Amino acid sequence: MIDPGAHAGFILAAYAATAIILGGVILASWLSLRAARARLQRLEALFPDGGKRPS
Amino acid sequence: MNDARPTSWLQLANPAVFNRWADRLLGPLVIVTLGLFAYGLYGTFFLSPADYQQGDTVRIMYIHVPAAWLALFVYAGMVFSALGTLVFRHPMADVAQKAAAPLGAAFTLVCLITGSIWGKPTWGTWWQWDARMTSVLVLLLIYLGIMALWRAVDDPLRAARAVAILTLVGAVNLPIIKFSVDWWYTLHQPASVFRLDGPTIHPSMLKPLLIMALGYLGLYLVLLLVRMKTELTLRRIDRLQRLAAGIPGERA
């Protein structure tokens, strides 16, 4: 069982930094995928034939 | 419905096939990763003992060491992707490499920051320009350079080749990081897990450490799949826009 004593701040800072960095990457990755999917859906709605122009 | 099953890596080159398999894998991978982190963190704080010298600051090891392993593992994977781009011209190789670079940079940053925070109470300093720490900092700079190169070159095919070459050149840093603690006198301790004569770390600490490492690996795989799906979607958008605008030379 943990009894961090005088070094509690270091342990907390290390875990907080990890959570912020990895949490940020998770959030950014998820938001990027969501934004890209939304953009693709809008484009596919504009060009239902796959973007090909009539010849 | 197309139920063709990939029987080789070449079939996974088809974005539709890749997306289908990624969608199947993502859910179970997320559940397994969450389970590993939950059990790993429980082991970190409640099952593993404090170190007889460092006390409870040793608990930083459970987030620092797996981040260091992943920083190297991701780069090693990028080296294989670079070979896939240059030698085999596998269409998914550069997608994987582009998706992996920011993840590798993030794990390297976690490694450096947690190492610095761990160093202060243990060594009495936040940073020392010794071989291990400096070579890991160089790894972060290589990751950032790769990410910058992807943005700097407009043509994705040319960018992929340039990045692949830079990745292969940067691979020389991997053995330097691994063996720096043996080749030079460093403040950083030598390896205590991956050793020819077996781990020197007590099993009560080794077990949660390995579980946390598997959690990190699971997180990496989840994020890699998500980022590869994003990149494929962006390429599809680019292709649609080029087709709609009548621009020749669009990429499939």
- Tens-place pLDDT, residues B44-102: 999 888 888 888 899 999 999 999 999 999 999 999 999 999 998 888 899 999 999 99
Mean pLDDT of A7-32: 95
**Which of B121, B223, B234 faces A26 most closely, judged by CB atoms?**
B223
One-letter amino acid at B179 equals: F
CA distance B12 to B24: 14
Among B95, B89, B94, B92, residue whose Cα is nearest residue B13: B92
Note the pLDDT tens digit of each residue in B115-147.
999 999 998 999 999 899 999 999 999 999 999
B12/B251: higher pLDDT: B12
- Residue B249, pLDDT > 60, answer no
Output the pLDDT for position B11.
Answer: 65
pLDDT one-digit tens code per residue, B38-60: 999 999 999 888 888 888 899 99
- For residue B131, give Cα distances in angstroms to B98, B125, B178: 28, 15, 10
Closest approach of A42 to chain B, Cα-based (Å): 10
Lowest mean pLDDT among B61-65, B99-103, B162-166, B189-193: B189-193
Give the domain ranges of chain B. Answer: 16-189+203-241
Q: How confident is the model at residue B252 (pLDDT cuts 50, 70, 90)?
A: very low
User: What local confidence, expressed as pLDDT, does residue B198 receive?
Assistant: 74
Given an 8 Å threshold on Cβ–Cβ distance, is A21 in contact with B106?
yes
CB contact under 8 A, A18 and B67: yes
